[in-house]
């Protein structure tokens, strides 16, 4: 008879390491789903507990409201902002201190942008575009160059490689920075349009293409090589900003007055790629993240929202009692922080992911963080987790406005359905949400 | 072909003529598999059998491209996980014990404890001991990791000790009847069902809590993942208490009189209560009625035990029968006959069953696996027998296998005996789950972690994997509501009613279902619903007939509806 009994070798004496053998047999791990689910609930609760997105504000801010910001494409740390009293300041993101400032204009600084060789351009409603050198000159020094225009300028954008800028007023004026002359080298306008353009943006990937939005609710695309406009699309309401997707050169997003953000494909303007709905007032500023996957929007309703490009609703909302109407927002180039410039004159720095913490994490910490994120993704369809995950504190007026808006939209929809029910089938066709806002297109 | 679909998860049509040899290259069904690929598929199938969780998704039926690619990624991840788990088996260090007869004439049940003690190592032989105690028939309970032993004598003697090293923990003389004692989540706390109430003590024997809601509790069970202490009382009440918060979670009257047995199913935390009339009812804290009622024996159910995977249940009844039930299919698999009623049963990690009947303890092997095969045969002879050296004066009271050890603890009327049963214990434990060699810091960490992942009592159900699964019915309802052009609900209801009324007479769908369902001695919610439907149907018939009778008037009604016709 062969007899053997289970015996385990004892741990070697004097060793500090405690052994933890594993056995992955499922019969030794009962209640897998329930335990994972409980861990997922804990993880989502902790994520909400650790959500502290506000990092700080820049220096002491501006005196008047901040209406425009621009980040230096060649640096991870510097960015500039322009305010309503004509003051332009350059900030250092790391120390959150002011580095350079000047009272550049007499009116509102409407647009600001950097050139590839680290100089700052600003345009204002006093019909001037001024070129500054914040790295090499002192504060309050005079501009390097001034370009005069016919009308008040509303926005400015720089070409990716060439020393050319596009400034928007009644039409787009292309100035050549290498020439000291004041006249624009080209003027681009849609032949039949007379209204002011509110924003202009060069495509940084497809470098000859630019887009503009105007007060006559139009979005116009231009090509520099042919010196002519390409395409015009008219929406229901005017757009405040157009921004290109850095990773997908043919996609751009517009921030519209009807509280929505529309993402369009340049090649097919009859239909939006996506409609992002969550704001309760006009969307003033918009930017894609450096990865092209996410967006940030600043709205007149005193909040900024972060969006994922694929989904239809915001993934996060940032607000403070002290932050009034937000007119500008930007991503930092490292994709981790966002900036908001608002009416109260402050520029605030926020985390892009509210529960993230900066700093080097140990391998075990990283593992735990990634495990928690995977758990939340795995169980995100469960009602309890969904509820906790999307729970945000919203200011009462915004919440109320959202509820009223939803009720009104539902009642409009209900009335439309009633009419449809009592009319001949096929007489009232349904229109997809993505085409509803486009009134017409022209070539 | 089916196998291919199930196993392969990736479409790899070569784009430029080059054949990419990926791990999951999908061939057309008529191609012959090479030796390598066949071997690979066999490995994957084997790994999946042990470590797989459910069936793979059929990707060729998914039309949406994004969904298809996402599902493919997930299926690949699952495949990697399953193969990785299989590969990790190489790290398992220990092997389980065995008792193998060398010739055809040798029988394992002839082997005595003395022979076993001589054959195994000194360390193992020390684990077999005998404690002679007075103060009543004892009941014994090992902690979850098998480190500490709790002995409770009916006359009021409580003792804990680390049985491997012989270090005593605490000793109490309570001077009143003790009916049952159980460890809580670790060796720091234990609960004792005393004459009137249930008391919770510390590792040092200090009384910490009195649970006054429990009156004359006869059996206790502790659900470790939910931190629930469950007790059945002589009045038939079943109470659950959360030991981490102290709240009573549920109190259900079983309404069948004093219970005779209590056991928990470690797979889904359902309690099996055995009653005087031979029924076993399955309880969860979420419903006031038992989930399932099983007519197990003709006499009172003396003992119940479940195996670790929650598949099989053994019940021993007063009618001297030992029945093996398949709980998932709710069918009786085998029925054995014992000489005396089986008063205590315990099933080890590896499926060995120890049965106490009368004064003898018998251990059976492969009792639970023979039910699996297509031609189930009964086990003819036991694995091991044990008779106490003191003869028939010593009556074994309870048995319990020590987790992760080849040890069976028999608590009897005059003390406690520890027996070596080769092949009983699970050889390789998972230290992050239950650690038999844990240090103090590990114990503390484990306590905190298990409290953080304490499961809510709402998750206790017959199928523990229902969590996270989609609620298909409500999803369907939502989809129906969203579709504004769909026909209204009323029409659907009319259609359903018409279908139901079509079957009349003897071969109605209802009767056919009840007949085919087989187990006449199992009552679960489906059966209850069916009975209700049948009842409603007969009520409707009666009403219809009385209505018609009233129409016709008393004279005509007597002609058309004789007493024979009125019966449905």
pLDDT of residue B13 exceeding 80: no
**What is the pLDDT averaged over residues B503-530?**
69
pLDDT of residue B483 exceeding 80: no
Same domain, B455 and B534: no
> Which DSSP symbol is given to B436?
T
Q: Containing domain of residue B358, as a range?
A: 112-463
Number of structural domains chain B divides into? 3
Structure confidence at residue B525 (pLDDT): 78
> How large is the ipTM?
0.83
Contact A256, A262 (CB under 8 A): yes
Structure confidence at residue B557 (pLDDT): 76
Same domain, B209 and B60: no
Residue contact A6–B406, C-beta within 8 A: yes
Per-residue pLDDT of A388-441, as tens digits, reads 999 999 999 999 999 999 999 999 999 999 999 999 988 988 899 999 888 888
| CA A259/CA A282 separation, integer angstroms | 5
Structure confidence at residue B23 (pLDDT): 46
Structure confidence at residue B506 (pLDDT): 58
End-to-end CA distance of chain B: 51
Between A135-149, B16-30, B369-383, B528-542, the lowest mean confidence (pLDDT) is in: B16-30
**What is the pLDDT averaged over residues B94-109?**
90
Asked if the structure places residue B513 within a domain, the reply is yes
- Comparing alpha-carbon positions, the chain B residue that sits nearest to A36 is B453
> Which DSSP symbol is given to B517?
H
End-to-end CA distance of chain A: 94
Asked if the structure places residue B345 within a domain, the reply is yes
Contact A229, A221 (CB under 8 A): yes
Per-residue pLDDT of B168-224, as tens digits, reads 999 999 999 999 999 999 999 999 999 999 999 999 999 999 999 999 999 999 999
| CA A81/CA A71 separation, integer angstroms | 9
**What is the pLDDT averaged over residues A180-192?**
86
Between A238-252, A407-421, B12-26, B53-67, the lowest mean confidence (pLDDT) is in: B12-26
Structure confidence at residue A66 (pLDDT): 96
CA distance A43 to chain B (A): 11
Between A243-257, B330-344, B373-387, B503-517, the lowest mean confidence (pLDDT) is in: B503-517
Contact B293, B527 (CB under 8 A): no
Name the band, by pLDDT with cuts 50, 70 and 90, for residue A18: confident
Name the band, by pLDDT with cuts 50, 70 and 90, for residue B10: very low
**What is the pLDDT averaged over residues A252-266?**
96
Asked if the structure places residue B528 within a domain, the reply is yes
Same domain, B247 and B145: yes
**What is the pLDDT averaged over residues A169-184?**
87
Residue contact B98–A19, C-beta within 8 A: no
CA distance B60 to chain A (A): 23
Structure confidence at residue A14 (pLDDT): 74
Same domain, B440 and B494: no
**What is the pLDDT averaged over residues A313-338?**
96
CA distance A20 to chain B (A): 5
Asked if the structure places residue B482 within a domain, the reply is no
What is the pLDDT of chain A when averaged over all its residues? 93
- Burial (CB count <10 Å: 0-12, 13-18, 19+), residue B507: exposed
Residues pairing with A329 in the sheet: A340
Structure confidence at residue B310 (pLDDT): 93
**What is the pLDDT averaged over residues B148-159?**
96
Which chain B residues are within 8 Å of A368, Cβ to Cβ?
A: none
Name the band, by pLDDT with cuts 50, 70 and 90, for residue B508: low
CA distance A308 to chain B (A): 17
Name the band, by pLDDT with cuts 50, 70 and 90, for residue B11: very low
Closest CA to A51 of A43, A61, A41: A43
Residue contact B432–A20, C-beta within 8 A: yes
Residue contact A8–B101, C-beta within 8 A: no
Asked if the structure places residue B544 within a domain, the reply is yes
> Which DSSP symbol is given to B266?
T
Closest CA to B74 of B92, B54, B93: B54
Name the band, by pLDDT with cuts 50, 70 and 90, for residue A84: very high
Name the band, by pLDDT with cuts 50, 70 and 90, for residue A13: confident
Same domain, B119 and B258: yes
Asked if the structure places residue B20 within a domain, the reply is no
Same domain, B517 and B435: no
Structure confidence at residue B568 (pLDDT): 42
pLDDT of residue B160 exceeding 50: yes
Is the dihedral angle over the CA atoms A332, A336, A341, A347 positive or is it negative?
negative
Long-range pairs of A393-401 with CB within 8 A, sequence gap ≥ 24 = A394/A303, A394/A317, A394/A319, A395/A302, A395/A303, A395/A319, A395/A321, A397/A301, A398/A280, A398/A301, A398/A302, A398/A303, A398/A319, A401/A280, A401/A281, A401/A301
Query: Which of B429, B463, B497 is the last residue in one of the domains?
Result: B463
Per-residue pLDDT of B275-332, as tens digits, reads 999 999 999 999 999 999 999 999 999 999 999 999 999 999 999 999 999 999 899 9
Between B105-119, B138-152, B241-255, B509-523, the lowest mean confidence (pLDDT) is in: B509-523
Helix, strand or coil, per DSSP, at residue B535: helix
Same domain, B180 and B76: no
pLDDT of residue B456 exceeding 50: yes
Residue contact A37–B459, C-beta within 8 A: yes
Cα-trace Rg, chain B: 29
Same domain, B427 and B498: no
Same domain, B401 and B497: no
| CA B316/CA B358 separation, integer angstroms | 12
Q: Which of A1, A31, A379 sits opposite B102 (nearest CB)?
A: A1
At B250, which CATH number? 2.130.10.10
**What is the pLDDT averaged over residues A185-202?**
92
Contact B130, B166 (CB under 8 A): no
Residue contact B93–A38, C-beta within 8 A: no
Mutation site, A11, A33, A34, interface B, largest B CB count within 10 A: A34
| CA B566/CA B549 separation, integer angstroms | 10
pLDDT of residue B417 exceeding 90: yes
| CA A432/CA A427 separation, integer angstroms | 16
| CA A346/CA A56 separation, integer angstroms | 10
- Comparing alpha-carbon positions, the chain A residue that sits nearest to B469 is A382
Asked if the structure places residue B90 within a domain, the reply is no
Phi-psi region of B278 (alpha: psi -120 to 50; beta: other; left: phi over 0): left
Residues pairing with B223 in the sheet: B228
- CB within 8 Å of B180: residues ≥ 6 apart: B139, B152, B192, B193, B217, B218, B219, B220
| CA B202/CA B206 separation, integer angstroms | 5
- Burial (CB count <10 Å: 0-12, 13-18, 19+), residue B97: buried
Which chain A residues are within 8 Å of B269, Cβ to Cβ?
A: 31
Residue contact B464–A33, C-beta within 8 A: yes
| CA B293/CA B280 separation, integer angstroms | 6
Q: Which of B108, B119, B121 sits opposite A7 (nearest CB)?
A: B121
User: Residue by residue, what is the 3-state secondary structure of A203-268?
Assistant: CCCCCCEEEEEECCCEEEEEECCCCEEEEEEEECCCEEEEEECCCCCCEEEEEECCCEEEEEECCE
pLDDT of residue B560 exceeding 80: no
Name the band, by pLDDT with cuts 50, 70 and 90, for residue B232: very high
Residue contact B429–A9, C-beta within 8 A: no
Token digits of residue A346: 């402050």
pLDDT of residue A37 exceeding 50: yes
> Which DSSP symbol is given to A27?
G
Comparison of pLDDT for B375 and A264, the residue scoring more: A264
Phi then psi for residue A36, to 5 deg, are -65, -40
pLDDT of residue A222 exceeding 80: yes
Structure confidence at residue B551 (pLDDT): 86
- Comparing alpha-carbon positions, the chain B residue that sits nearest to A17 is B439
Contact A289, A315 (CB under 8 A): no
Note whether B474 contacts A: Cβ–Cβ < 8 A: no
Kind plus residue range of the DSSP H or E element containing B45: helix B35-51
Q: How many CB pairs under 8 A join A and B?
A: 140
| CA A364/CA B411 separation, integer angstroms | 45
Structure confidence at residue B316 (pLDDT): 95
CA distance B476 to chain A (A): 15
pLDDT of residue B336 exceeding 60: yes
Which chain B residues are within 8 Å of A429, Cβ to Cβ?
A: none
Prediction pTM value: 0.85
Residue contact B97–A25, C-beta within 8 A: no
Residue contact B468–A29, C-beta within 8 A: no
Same domain, B272 and B334: yes
Same domain, B456 and B523: no
Please report, rounded to a whole number, the percentage of residues in chain A having pLDDT higher than 90: 86
**What is the pLDDT averaged over residues B413-423?**
93
- Comparing alpha-carbon positions, the chain B residue that sits nearest to A11 is B437
Helix, strand or coil, per DSSP, at residue A23: coil
Structure confidence at residue A16 (pLDDT): 75
Name the band, by pLDDT with cuts 50, 70 and 90, for residue A314: very high
Comparison of pLDDT for B337 and B552, the residue scoring more: B337
Distances (CA, A) of B548 to B97, B501, B553, B554, B567: 76, 19, 9, 11, 15
- Cα–chain-centroid distance for residue A113? 17
Could you say which residues from 261 to 320 on chain B have a Cβ atom under 8 Å away from some Cβ of chain A? 266-269, 308-310
Closest CA to A282 of A245, A331, A223, A237: A237
pLDDT of residue B369 exceeding 80: no
Same domain, B72 and B122: no
Q: Which of B124, B309, B439 sits opposite A18 (nearest CB)?
A: B439
Name the band, by pLDDT with cuts 50, 70 and 90, for residue B548: confident
Helix, strand or coil, per DSSP, at residue B178: strand
Note whether B71 contacts A: Cβ–Cβ < 8 A: no
Asked if the structure places residue B231 within a domain, the reply is yes
| CA A176/CA A182 separation, integer angstroms | 9
Burial pattern B19-41, b for ≥16 Cβ within 10 A else e, equals: eeeeebebeeeeeeeeeeeeebb
| CA A318/CA A306 separation, integer angstroms | 8
Q: Order across the sheet with B138-142: list the strands.
A: B138-142, B148-153, B157-162, B167-173
Structure confidence at residue B476 (pLDDT): 82
Closest CA to A273 of A312, A299, A314, A304: A312
Which chain B residues are within 8 Å of A27, Cβ to Cβ?
A: 308-309
């Amino acid at each position: 008879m062969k007899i053997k009994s289970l015996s385990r070798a004892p741990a070697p004496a004097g060793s500090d390491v405690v052994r933890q053998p594993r056995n992955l047999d499922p019969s030794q791990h009962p209640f897998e789903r329930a335990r994972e689910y409980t861990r997922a609930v804990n993880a989502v609760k902790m994520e909400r507990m650790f959500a502290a997105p506000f990092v700080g504000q820049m220096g002491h801010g501006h005196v008047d409201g901040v209406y425009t910001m621009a980040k230096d494409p060649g640096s991870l740390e510097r960015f500039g902002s322009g305010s309503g009293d004509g003051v332009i300041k350059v900030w250092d993101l790391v120390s959150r201190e002011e580095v350079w400032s000047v009272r550049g204009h007499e009116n509102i600084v409407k647009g600001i942008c950097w050139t590839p060789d680290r100089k700052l351009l600003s345009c204002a409603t006093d019909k001037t575009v001024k070129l500054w050198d914040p790295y090499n000159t002192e504060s309050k020094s005079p501009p390097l160059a001034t370009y005069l225009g016919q009308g008040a300028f509303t926005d400015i954008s720089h070409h990716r490689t060439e020393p050319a800028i596009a400034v928007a007023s009644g039409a787009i004026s292309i100035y050549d920075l290498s020439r000291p002359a004041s006249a624009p080298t080209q003027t681009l306008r849609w032949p039949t349009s007379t209204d002011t353009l509110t924003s202009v943006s060069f495509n940084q990937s497809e470098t000859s293409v630019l887009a503009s939005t105007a007060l006559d609710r139009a979005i116009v695309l231009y090509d520099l090589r042919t010196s002519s406009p390409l395409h015009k699309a008219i929406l229901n309401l005017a757009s405040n900003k157009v921004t290109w997707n850095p990773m997908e050169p043919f996609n751009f997003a517009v921030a519209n007055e009807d509280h929505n953000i529309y993402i369009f494909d340049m090649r097919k303007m009859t239909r939006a790629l996506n409609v992002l709905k969550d704001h309760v007032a006009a969307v003033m500023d918009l930017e894609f993240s450096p990865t092209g996957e996410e967006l940030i929007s600043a709205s007149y309703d005193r909040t900024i929202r972060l969006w994922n490009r694929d989904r239809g609703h915001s993934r996060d909302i940032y607000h403070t009692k002290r932050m009034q109407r937000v007119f500008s927002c930007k991503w930092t180039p490292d994709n981790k922080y966002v900036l908001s410039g608002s009416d109260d004159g402050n520029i605030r720095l926020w985390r892009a992911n509210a529960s993230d913490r900066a700093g080097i994490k140990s391998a075990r910490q990283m593992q735990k963080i990634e495990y928690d994120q995977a758990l939340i993704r795995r169980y995100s369809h469960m009602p309890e987790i969904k509820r906790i995950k999307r729970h945000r504190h919203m200011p009462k007026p915004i919440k109320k406005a959202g509820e009223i808006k939803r009720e009104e939209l539902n009642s409009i929809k209900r009335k439309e359905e009633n009419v449809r029910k009592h009319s001949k089938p096929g007489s009232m066709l349904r229109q997809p949400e993505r085409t509803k806002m486009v009134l017409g297109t022209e070539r | 072909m089916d196998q291919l679909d199930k196993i392969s998860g990736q479409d790899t049509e070569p784009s430029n003529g080059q054949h990419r040899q990926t791990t999951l290259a999908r061939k057309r069904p008529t191609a012959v598999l090479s030796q390598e690929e066949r071997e690979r598929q066999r490995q994957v199938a084997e790994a999946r059998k042990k470590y797989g969780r459910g069936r793979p998704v059929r990707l060729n039926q998914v039309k949406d491209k994004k969904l298809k690619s996402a599902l493919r990624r997930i299926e690949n991840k699952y495949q990697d996980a399953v193969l990785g788990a299989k590969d990790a088996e190489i790290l398992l260090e220990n092997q389980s014990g065995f008792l193998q007869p060398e010739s055809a004439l040798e029988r394992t049940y002839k082997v005595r404890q003395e022979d076993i003690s001589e054959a195994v190592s000194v360390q193992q032989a020390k684990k077999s001991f005998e404690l002679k105690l007075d103060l009543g028939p004892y009941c014994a309970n090992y902690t979850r990791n098998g480190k500490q032993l709790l002995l409770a004598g009916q006359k009021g003697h409580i003792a804990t000790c680390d049985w491997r090293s012989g270090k005593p923990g605490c000793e109490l003389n309570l001077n009143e009847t003790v009916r049952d004692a159980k460890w809580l989540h670790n060796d720091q706390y234990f609960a004792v069902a005393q004459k009137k109430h249930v008391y919770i003590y510390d590792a040092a024997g200090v009384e910490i809590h009195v649970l006054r809601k429990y009156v004359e509790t006869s059996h206790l069970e502790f659900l470790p993942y939910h931190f629930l202490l469950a007790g059945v009382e002589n009045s038939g009440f079943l109470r659950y208490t959360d030991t981490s918060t102290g709240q009573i979670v549920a109190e259900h009257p079983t309404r069948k009189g004093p219970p005779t047995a209590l056991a928990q199913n470690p797979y889904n935390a359902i309690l099996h209560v055995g009653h005087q009339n031979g029924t076993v009812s399955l309880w969860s804290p979420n419903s006031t009625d038992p989930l399932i009622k099983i007519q197990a024996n003709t006499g009172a159910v003396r003992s119940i035990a479940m195996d670790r995977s929650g598949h099989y249940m053994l019940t021993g009844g007063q009618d001297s029968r030992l029945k093996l039930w398949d709980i998932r299919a709710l069918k009786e698999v085998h029925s054995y006959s014992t000489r005396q009623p089986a008063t205590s049963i315990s099933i080890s990690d590896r499926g060995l069953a120890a049965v106490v009947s009368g004064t003898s303890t018998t251990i059976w092997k492969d009792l639970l696996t023979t039910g699996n095969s297509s031609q189930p045969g009964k086990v003819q002879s036991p694995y091991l027998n044990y008779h106490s050296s003191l003869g028939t004066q010593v009556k074994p009271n309870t048995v319990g296998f020590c987790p992760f050890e080849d040890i069976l603890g028999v608590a009897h009327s005059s003390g406690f005996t520890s027996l070596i049963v080769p092949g009983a214990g699970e050889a390789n434990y998972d230290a992050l789950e239950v650690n038999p060699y844990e240090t103090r810091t590990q114990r503390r960490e484990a306590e905190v972690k298990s409290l953080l992942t304490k499961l809510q009592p709402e998750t206790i159900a017959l199928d523990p994997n229902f969590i996270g699964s989609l609620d298909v019915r409500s999803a369907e309802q939502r989809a129906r509501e969203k579709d504004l052009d769909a026909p209204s609900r009323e029409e659907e209801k009319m259609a359903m009613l018409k279908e139901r009324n079509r079957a009349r007479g003897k071969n109605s769908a209802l009767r056919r279902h009840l007949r085919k369902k087989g187990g006449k001695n199992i009552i679960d919610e489906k059966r209850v619903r069916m009975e209700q439907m049948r009842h409603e149907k007969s009520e409707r018939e009666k009403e219809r007939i009385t209505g018609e009778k009233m129409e016709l008037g008393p004279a005509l009604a007597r002609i058309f509806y004789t007493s024979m016709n009125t019966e449905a």
